[in-house]
Structure 1
Amino acid sequence: MEIRPDLDTDVSTRTVVESMIRADATIDAGELYDVANALGMSDQQVRLCIKRLVAEGRFTHEGRGRKAILRATGATTSVLGPDLDFIRFMYEQDRGLAPWDGRWHLAAFAVPESARSARDAMRDTILRLGGAPIQGGLYVCANAWEDRIRAAAADLDVSDHVTTLTTTDLSIGTDTGARALAERLWPIDDIAEGHRRLLAVAEKTLPALRGASRTERLTLAISLAAEFTRAMEPDPLLPPQLLPQPWVGTAARAAVAACWSELLKSEHEQPIRLFDWYSEAIKQII
């Protein structure tokens, strides 16, 4: 039986499975099926997903049916979880603790065709860090990213092909003002729409958490975390000076923090890592 259809969130079966990993790297299959059912997923859908994840080497499987225990492998535990530094920084921005110094941070790379996979991975990293393309191989970000750019380049063995620099004097065509540049470089309207959706979900989640059972709380937490990720992945975390005010992202993140504050009031002897991941970053600002 679905318990939160009014939240209107879209969560994949894989996301549900990965979100149910407990502190000891295991998943209680019975609890997994209960949460998945509450999210409108069938047992068969969950079984097929588990089978795929086991075949990929992401989990091992012990036992049968709802009494089974899944155990995450090292390949899974090493890559799951949000970027906690990223989450902390966004809340510091919202509280005015990370003021912009007016500097634009640029990165350029020209990785040869012989290292195409490394070139593609470098581009993906730059985009994930909030970079916007200016022209071929040249990207810009409003926040300091040099350490992460250099670390990624070293991991991919392309350090000799990557250049970083900063400037306070940036123009693209006839656009020279900071706000005009931001509007040209990033899809601010689309980013705002994602935050409006997140705000709506968080505002429905908070009252639903009060008095909810453990299964209901897990379901709500997973739905909220999925929506949070969906809204934040395309967000370059532009400084307030570059955004329309009031910025809906600030309100959305505050509403999410209120939900996690409510979730943290109920500790469990077998907490799932999802709670640890988000509470570690958010508890510092609530």
Structure 2
Amino acid sequence: MTAPGAPDRGTRTERTRSAEVPTRLLVHALVREDGTVDAGQLYSVAVLLGMTDQQVRLCVKRLVTDGRFTQEGRGRKAVLRAVADPTGALAPNAEYVRHAYRQDAGHAPWDGVWHLFAFAVPESRRTARDALRDTLLHVGAAPLHGGLYVTANPVADIVEAHARHLGVLDSLTFLTSTDLRVGNVTDPVALAAGLWPLGEIAARYERLTDFARHCLDGLEVREEAGGAGRGASGRLALAVELAAEFTRAMEPDPLLPPELLPQPWPGTRARRLTADCWQRLRSTGSDRPEGREGLRLFRLYGDTLGDLPEES
């Protein structure tokens, strides 16, 4: 599975660690279905991610002070209880992710239509104007000129809903076109390359690919050793890192249709490896230790990546 001259799988498993996981995200990732976090499990996974006990203690203290969790007991014997569902930042947008996999499988071909949005919101409503711009960027639209944005995806309903909520719908113009030209550039692939930072997006997916391969290598080594190794904590550490790396790659991706992207596109490979790794993680052991409820992390990603379309 590794290239000639690369470290053997055992060495790679021990030394390769590409994902950077914030301590707060780790706490959120270990929330069980009953809303609790086992502090003993938290500290065990944290050390595998290179975190110190002091980092974990300070993070827990801040979360409790902020009113996001309550704490019963002390140290590794403590139990944290979420005051509200804290998994929003960790949970993937299921429809967004499934659309990406539909594109990868060839089930969402581009119809050749560009979707444009133009707005002129006065300075007196700067907050609403900035929020509308952030919405457009969030759904993958790119700026053409001041107040004019374009995307290849049909996101008008989402943009309209946000504009209506912000009270600026009357200042927003919707337009579709199959004839887009920027200067002398008319080729859709060239337009996409000029409008979106495809190199940066591809680099994030290459990083995800490297980590997903590391994850698969580690799981294979564990299986060959008959399940020996770092046990449940090691598996959870991999799952948390994989979720963090997947989010880091997916969030800034405008999910342009494959027809507009250089091929082969690294996002396709990275997403498939992520799905493979996630399925292996779920099958290598129960996430319900000692009969307790499983982690929300496994349900959130399992529901999203568990039923992917077959490639054409």
1:4 and 1:18, CA in 2 relative to 1: closer, same or farther beyond 3 A? farther
Alignment-mate amino acid for residue 232 of structure 1: M
Q: Mapping of 1:275-286 within 5 angstroms?
A: 275-285=298-308
| Inter-partner Cα distance in structure 2 for 1:16 and 1:104 | 39
Map 1:136-285; keep pairs closer than 5 Å: 136-209=146-219, 210=223, 211=227, 213-265=231-283, 266-269=285-288, 270-285=293-308
Identity value in percent? 53
Structure 2: runs of 5 or more not aligned: 1-12
- CA drift of 1:77 comes to 4.9
Contact 2:49 2:237 (8 Å CA) reproduced: yes
Q: Which protein, 1 or 2, shows the higher relative CO under an 8 Å CA cutoff with sep ≥ 6?
A: 2
Aligned to 1:6: 16
Shift of 1:255: 0.4
Change over 3 Å in CA distance of 1:151–1:25 after alignment to 2: farther
Equivalent residues of 1:4, 1:220 under 8 A apart: no
Aligned equivalents of 1:272, 1:239: Cα separation in 2: 34
User: Shift of the alpha carbon at 1:219?
Assistant: 0.2
Gaps of 5+ in 1: none
Assess, with a 3 A threshold, how the Cα gap between structure 1 residues 147 and 65 changes in structure 2: closer, same or farther.
same
- Cα distance in structure 1, aligned partners of 2:191 and 2:94: 28
TM-score, normalised by the number of residues in structure 2: 0.86
Q: Which amino acid is 2:287 matched to?
A: H
Change (3 A) 1:276 1:129: same
TM-score by length of 1: 0.93
Shift of 1:55: 2.2
On the 8 A contact 1:191/1:234 being kept in 2, the answer is yes
CA RMSD of aligned residues (A): 1.8
SS class of match (1:264):
helix
Deviations 1:7-34 (A, max 9, x none): 2221111111111111122211111111
1:119 corresponding residue in structure 2: 129
* Cα distance in 1 between the residues matched to 2:164 and 2:68: 26
Distance change in 2, residues 1:258/1:183 (3 Å): same
The count of corresponding residues between Structure 1 and Structure 2 is 284
Q: Deviations over 1:90-147 (max 9, x none)?
A: 0000000111101111222333333322222222221111111111111111111112
* Structure whose CA Rg is larger: 2
Q: Within 5 A, what are the aligned runs for 1:97-112?
A: 97-112=107-122
CA distance in 2, matches of 1:153, 1:48: 40
2:30 is the alignment partner of 1:20 = yes
Following superposition, the deviation at residue 4 of structure 1 comes to 5.1
* Shift in CA distance, 25/113, structure 1 to aligned 2, threshold 3 Å: farther
Evaluate the alpha carbon distance shift between residue 73 and residue 5 of structure 1 in structure 2; reply closer, same or farther with a 3 A threshold.
farther
Taking structure 1 as reference, are residues 175 and 77 closer, same or farther at Cα in structure 2, changes over 3 Å only? same
